């Protein structure tokens, strides 16, 4: 189906990738449109997942979660509900069915020139035909000149390279003699992505998605299709003594064509500035517009000492590993190296940014991080120092937004997060943070917009499940979480998130299993004894109450402090008094645990759903300043 068509009251134009109704048009990604066209080709019939994947991604292996995201995006556009579908119905374990009516389009996109000419008077008709033939002849002449490239006209008109609007930077290879220098190559990759991400006219894929291809055997066109980009940058870093050489090449992915290659050698202390130079060169080559403000932010940084650079890059290396693996030891190593960098040069803003991140991330979909009051103080002081030293830093403003949310300063939090995105439009983490801010404050339409931008910038991460969870779309969220755990089975936070979703979906045996897995992986194995026995004897509520009682004993002994998690446990089993006891405790000690005592999620977290009819809930929402 290549022509326009209707789905219910909506007009679908595949050639434009748009869906419109009542004069309002929404653009969708090309692959999302292809999914819709595939379903519309068999209206009312079940189309298997395998058939859709084979049709839309014929030469690329993609997992089911890519299809789930595409269908979720279509439901958002059609304002559809998976639980009561009016447009797209999920056929469990099989595929999807387009249940809305499908009919030919109304022809709005057709060429009306013949009709216009028919209504003209005879003299005007002759003039119209002459004008039309003149234009057609001019177009034909230009086509011939360009086609045969007369006088290199094609290069003058179109430029020598194909247009590039999006790219991914693959991990730069470590060509140094010392394998332990991998952290250095990793840091150089991160700096290059960070610099390129500041260019608003260019879509740059997040490092967490490009890192997936570090040891891949896939071709560059395959990688580009999976990441939905026009071009790939690959290269290497070689360090020898006090010198570093970075080599990079730009490949136009559809043709696997090398468009450009450069090699830069600098002293180690100029390595960070070198990446800014490289980012500028890439921007020039792909011919995207770089604003004066962006140009200024891409200026080479001041030289830094080799030891400062090493400590900073080591810190970033461990911070990145900690984020991927959810391992506290990695965050502790990162903290050590960032602190060494700060001690050497108290004016080096990037080290403060790293130090703040090493002490806890707040606005994210991950479950039960438990930073201490000391973590909060360090994070806040480091964020404020970084913003003072580097007011144009996107990361610094993102951190200030996180801190403001912890303080329940909601307008300040939104302002800082919006500023972070303005400074680095390609920063998926900032869009993610703003999306969860909107979730926390009940602005779900805006949350959807931001999380889909984050997902597009970081397509190999599942950022969507948290929004689906908050909306009560549990079956879809569960599928994405399972896919996540297949990739990272030892992520304790992911297991805890799956416990929550299974619990709210009423799938209690699976929920209790995931809670046990989360406890073991996050270092709380002592919470589990008796849980399974309690489940067998008294069911889900008895098992959760058993875990809550064990956690209360640990808190009394000073070993943990998680009042918000206890409130979740009691909330999901309907024990309102105990839930409010712990919510009030979190209110009194908001900086004794992460996320403002966990209360920034009071409005958005469905684990508290049983509490919302209670007057105590409305009073607590009012006291922390959340909108009603």
DSSP sequence for 427-471: -HHHHHHHHHHHHHTT-HHHHHHHHHHHHHHSTTS--SHHHHHHT
Q: How many CB atoms lie within 10 A of CB 54?
A: 11
**pLDDT at 327 (0 to 100):** 55
Query: Are the C-beta atoms of residues 425 and 197 closer than 8 Å to each other?
Result: yes
Region for 530 from its dihedrals, namely left if φ exceeds 0, alpha if ψ lies in -120 to 50, beta otherwise: left
pLDDT of 627 over the 70 cut? yes
pLDDT of 18 over the 50 cut? yes
Q: At what angle do helices 563-572 and 540-556 cross, to 10 degrees?
A: 160
pLDDT of 462 over the 60 cut? yes
Q: Flag whether 175 is in a domain.
A: yes
184 and 138 belong to one structural domain: no
CA–CA separation, 177 and 574 (whole Å): 61
Q: Flag whether 446 is in a domain.
A: no
Which pair of structure tokens corresponds to residue 26? 């929404």
CA–CA separation, 318 and 338 (whole Å): 10
250 and 287 belong to one structural domain: yes
Query: Are the C-beta atoms of residues 300 and 273 closer than 8 Å to each other?
Result: yes
Q: Flag whether 52 is in a domain.
A: yes
183 and 255 belong to one structural domain: yes
Which pair of structure tokens corresponds to residue 304? 């830094």
Query: Are the C-beta atoms of residues 189 and 171 closer than 8 Å to each other?
Result: yes
Q: Report DSSP letters for 476-535, one per residue.
A: HHHHHHHHHHHH-TT-HHHHHHHHHHHHHHT-HHHHHHHHHHHHHHTT-GGG-TTHHHHH
197 and 220 belong to one structural domain: yes
Query: What percent of the chain stands above pLDDT 70?
Result: 85
**pLDDT at 368 (0 to 100):** 40
pLDDT digits (tens, 9 = 90+) for 394-443: 999 999 999 999 889 999 999 999 999 999 999 999 999 999 899 888 88
pLDDT of 300 over the 60 cut? no
CATH number at residue 266: 3.40.50.10070
pLDDT digits (tens, 9 = 90+) for 26-56: 888 788 889 999 999 988 888 998 889 888 8
298 and 173 belong to one structural domain: yes
**pLDDT at 410 (0 to 100):** 93
Residues 176-190: what's their mean pLDDT?
Answer: 83
Q: Flag whether 335 is in a domain.
A: no
**pLDDT at 370 (0 to 100):** 54
**pLDDT at 412 (0 to 100):** 96
CATH number at residue 77: 1.10.10.10
Domain interval for residue 145: 122-158
CA–CA separation, 25 and 10 (whole Å): 10
Complete edge-to-edge strand list for the sheet that includes strand 88-91 = 46-48, 95-98, 88-91
Q: Flag whether 350 is in a domain.
A: no
Per the prediction, the chain carries an average pLDDT of: 83
Domain boundary among 272, 303, 334: 303
Domain boundary among 303, 338, 369: 303
Alpha helix ranges (H) inside 211-362: 220-227, 271-286, 292-297, 306-325, 328-344, 349-358
**pLDDT at 491 (0 to 100):** 83
Query: Are the C-beta atoms of residues 312 and 335 closer than 8 Å to each other?
Result: no
149 and 187 belong to one structural domain: no
pLDDT digits (tens, 9 = 90+) for 245-282: 998 999 998 888 888 888 888 888 888 888 888 888 88
Task: Indicate the pLDDT class of residue 452, thresholds 50, 70 and 90.
Answer: very high
Q: Flag whether 378 is in a domain.
A: no
78 and 128 belong to one structural domain: no
Total count of residues recorded for the chain? 628
14 and 73 belong to one structural domain: yes
Residue 2 burial (10 A CB sphere; 0-12, 13-18, 19+): exposed
CA–CA separation, 156 and 59 (whole Å): 35
Cα of 470 vs its chain's centroid, Å: 17
Domain boundary among 284, 303, 322: 303
Of 116-130, 228-242, 414-428, the poorest mean pLDDT is in: 116-130
Task: Indicate the pLDDT class of residue 131, thresholds 50, 70 and 90.
Answer: very low
Phi, psi (deg, nearest 5) at residue 85: -70, 135
**pLDDT at 92 (0 to 100):** 77
194 and 96 belong to one structural domain: no
153 and 179 belong to one structural domain: no
Task: Indicate the pLDDT class of residue 549, thresholds 50, 70 and 90.
Answer: very high
Which of 328-332, 512-516, 586-590 has the largest mean confidence?
512-516
Q: Flag whether 592 is in a domain.
A: no
- How far from 548 is each of 367, 476, 536, 562, CA to CA, in Å? 16, 28, 17, 10
Residue 17 burial (10 A CB sphere; 0-12, 13-18, 19+): middle
**pLDDT at 150 (0 to 100):** 46
90 and 202 belong to one structural domain: no
145 and 179 belong to one structural domain: no
Residues 536-565: what's their mean pLDDT?
Answer: 90
Bridge partners of 251, per DSSP, are: 232, 258
Q: How many CB atoms lie within 10 A of CB 24?
A: 7
Contacts 24+ apart (CB under 8 A), 298-303: 298/195, 298/198, 300/270, 300/272, 300/273, 300/274, 300/276, 301/272, 301/273, 301/276, 302/273, 303/267, 303/269, 303/270, 303/273
Residues 312-329: what's their mean pLDDT?
Answer: 77
Q: How many CB atoms lie within 10 A of CB 143?
A: 10
Among 367, 391, 389, smallest CA distance to 501 is for 367
Radius of gyration in angstroms for the set of CA atoms belonging to the chain, rounded to a whole number? 27
Dihedral angle of Cα 318, 323, 327, 331, to the nearest 10 degrees: 50
Q: How many CB atoms lie within 10 A of CB 537?
A: 11
**pTM for this model (two decimals):** 0.74
Q: Flag whether 615 is in a domain.
A: no
The number of folded domains in the chain is 3
């Amino acid at each position: 189906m290549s022509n326009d068509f209707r789905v219910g009251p909506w007009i679908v134009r595949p050639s434009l990738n748009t869906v419109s109704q009542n004069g309002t048009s929404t653009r969708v990604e090309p692959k999302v449109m292809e999914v819709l066209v595939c379903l519309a080709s068999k209206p009312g019939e079940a189309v298997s997942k395998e058939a859709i994947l084979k049709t839309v991604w014929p030469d690329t292996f993609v997992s089911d979660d890519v299809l789930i995201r595409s269908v979720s995006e279509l439901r958002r556009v059609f304002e559809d509900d998976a639980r009561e579908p009016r447009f797209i119905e999920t056929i469990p374990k099989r595929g999807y069915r387009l249940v809305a009516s499908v009919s030919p389009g109304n022809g709005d996109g057709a060429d009306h020139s013949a009709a216009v000419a028919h209504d003209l008077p005879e003299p005007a008709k002759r003039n119209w035909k002459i004008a039309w033939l003149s234009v057609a002849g001019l177009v034909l002449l230009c086509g011939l000149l360009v086609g045969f490239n007369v006088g290199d006209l094609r290069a003058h008109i179109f430029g020598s390279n194909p247009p590039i609007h999006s790219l991914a930077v693959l991990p730069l290879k470590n060509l140094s003699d010392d394998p332990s220098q991998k952290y250095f190559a990793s840091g150089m990759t991160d700096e290059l992505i960070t610099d390129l991400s500041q260019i608003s006219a260019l879509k740059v894929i997040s490092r967490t998605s490009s890192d997936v291809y570090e040891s891949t055997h896939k071709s560059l066109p395959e990688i580009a299709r999976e990441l939905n980009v026009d071009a790939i940058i690959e290269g290497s870093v070689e360090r020898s003594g006090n010198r570093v050489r970075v080599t990079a090449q730009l490949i136009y992915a559809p043709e696997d064509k090398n468009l450009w290659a450069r090699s830069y050698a600098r002293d180690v202390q100029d390595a960070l500035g070198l990446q800014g130079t490289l980012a500028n060169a890439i921007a020039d080559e792909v011919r995207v517009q770089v604003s004066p403000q962006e140009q200024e932010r891409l200026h080479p940084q001041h030289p830094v000492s080799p030891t400062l650079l090493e400590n900073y890059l080591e810190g970033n290396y461990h911070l990145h590993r900690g984020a991927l693996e959810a391992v506290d030891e990695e965050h502790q190593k990162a903290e050590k190296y960032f602190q060494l960098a700060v001690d050497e040069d108290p004016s080096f803003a990037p080290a403060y940014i790293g130090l703040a991140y090493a002490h806890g991330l707040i606005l994210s979909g991950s479950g039960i991080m438990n930073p201490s009051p000391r973590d909060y103080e360090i994070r806040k002081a480091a964020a404020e120092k970084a913003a003072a030293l580097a007011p144009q830093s996107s990361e610094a403003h993102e951190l200030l937004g996180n801190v403001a949310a912890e303080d329940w300063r909601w307008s300040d939090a939104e302002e800082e997060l919006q500023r972070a995105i303005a400074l680095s439009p390609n920063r998926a983490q900032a869009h993610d943070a703003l999306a969860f801010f909107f979730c926390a404050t009940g602005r779900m339409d805006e949350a959807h917009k931001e999380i889909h931008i984050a997902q597009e910038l970081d397509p190999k991460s599942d950022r969507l499940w948290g929004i689906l969870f908050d909306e009560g779309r549990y079956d879809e969220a569960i599928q994405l979480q399972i896919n996540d755990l297949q990739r990272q089975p030892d992520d304790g936070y992911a297991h805890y998130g799956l416990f929550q979703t299974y619990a709210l979906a009423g799938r209690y045996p699976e929920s209790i299993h995931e809670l046990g897995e989360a406890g073991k992986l996050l270092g709380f194995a002592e919470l589990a004894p008796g849980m399974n026995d309690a489940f067998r004897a008294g069911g889900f509520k008895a098992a959760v109450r058993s875990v809550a009682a064990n956690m209360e004993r640990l808190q009394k002994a000073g070993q943990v402090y998680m009042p918000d998690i206890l409130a979740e446990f009691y909330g999901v089993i309907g024990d309102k008094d105990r839930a409010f006891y712990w919510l009030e405790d979190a209110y009194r000690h908001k900086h004794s645990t992460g996320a403002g005592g966990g209360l920034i999620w009071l409005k958005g977290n469905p684990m508290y759903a049983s509490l919302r009819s209670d007057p105590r809930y409305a009073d607590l929402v009012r006291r922390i300043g959340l909108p009603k």
